[in-house]
């Protein structure tokens, strides 16, 4: 962990709020990146980032400095995002793929990152919260099984099993949506 982080955390535990503001400014970009995977609505994403930093502040005393501060923050952000998805699950709403204008073969050779993220987000949205979380961390964050287990608190075996099942479900969904026909030119 960076020394400045530790100094700021110690100062914060002694009641220095400016120190925590410095930590927010330092890490909010990385946390935004993670929260953006949970919601592509700017207002919701902002709320998730804010909730992450508030929760982190309230449990700052429990931070043992065994891992970098950012890892700890990401763990909290994952929990906040997962909770958001579970709430969303009750409504069972997802974006139809037809609404996303997938670039045609003739016009573009490479899909735009934003469009790719939109398609993937919509596809993942059809899975259950737990399956979606595993694949989101795997695909968007490039997390290993060990890292996902660390972030979610699930066992490695459970994550491995869930990832395998989620990929199968995802494949079925992609085939049902005929995603390969729409994106055949990506080959």
What is the contact surface with other proteins in residues (CB under 8 A)? Answer: 17, 20-21, 24-25, 28-29, 32-33, 36, 42, 45-46, 49-50, 53-54, 57-58, 110-114, 116-117, 119-120, 123, 139-140, 142, 167, 170-171, 174-175, 179-180, 183-184, 186-187
Judged by CB, which is closer to other proteins: 34, or 149?
A: 34
At 128, is the secondary structure helix, strand, or coil?
A: coil
At 114, is the secondary structure helix, strand, or coil?
A: helix
* CA-to-CA separations, 118 to 50, 165, 186, in angstroms, rounded: 23, 22, 16
Cβ distance 40 to 25 under 8 Å? no
Least separation in angstroms between CB 55 and other proteins: 10
Judged by CB, which is closer to other proteins: 20, or 82?
A: 20
> Is 160 exposed, middle or buried (CB count within 10 Å of its CB: 0-12, 13-18, 19+)?
middle
Q: How far apart (Å, rounded) are the C-alpha atoms in residues 65 and 86?
A: 29
Least separation in angstroms between CB 111 and other proteins: 6
Least separation in angstroms between CB 17 and other proteins: 6
Cβ distance 170 to 127 under 8 Å? yes
Judged by CB, which is closer to other proteins: 33, or 129?
A: 33
Q: What is the dihedral of CA 46, 86, 94, 140, to 10 degrees?
A: 60
Least separation in angstroms between CB 124 and other proteins: 9
Judged by CB, which is closer to other proteins: 43, or 153?
A: 43
Judged by CB, which is closer to other proteins: 130, or 137?
A: 137
Least separation in angstroms between CB 33 and other proteins: 6
């Amino acid at each position: 962990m960076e020394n400045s982080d530790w100094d700021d955390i110690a100062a914060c535990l002694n009641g220095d709020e400016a120190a925590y503001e410095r930590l927010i400014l330092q890490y909010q970009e990385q946390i935004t990146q993670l929260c953006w995977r949970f919601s592509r609505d700017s207002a919701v994403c902002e709320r998730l980032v804010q909730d992450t930093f508030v929760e982190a502040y309230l449990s700052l005393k429990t931070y043992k400095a065994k891992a970098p501060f950012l890892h700890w923050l990401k763990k909290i952000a994952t929990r906040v995002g997962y909770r958001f998805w579970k709430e969303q699950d009750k409504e069972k709403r997802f974006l139809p793929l037809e609404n996303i204008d997938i670039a045609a073969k003739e016009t573009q050779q490479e899909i735009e990152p934003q469009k790719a993220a939109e398609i993937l987000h919509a596809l993942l949205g059809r899975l259950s919260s737990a399956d979606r979380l595993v694949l989101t961390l795997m695909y968007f964050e490039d997390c290993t099984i060990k890292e996902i287990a660390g972030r979610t608190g699930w066992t490695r075996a459970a994550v491995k099993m869930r990832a395998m099942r989620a990929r199968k479900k995802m494949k079925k969904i992609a085939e049902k949506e005929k995603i390969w026909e729409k994106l055949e030119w990506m080959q």
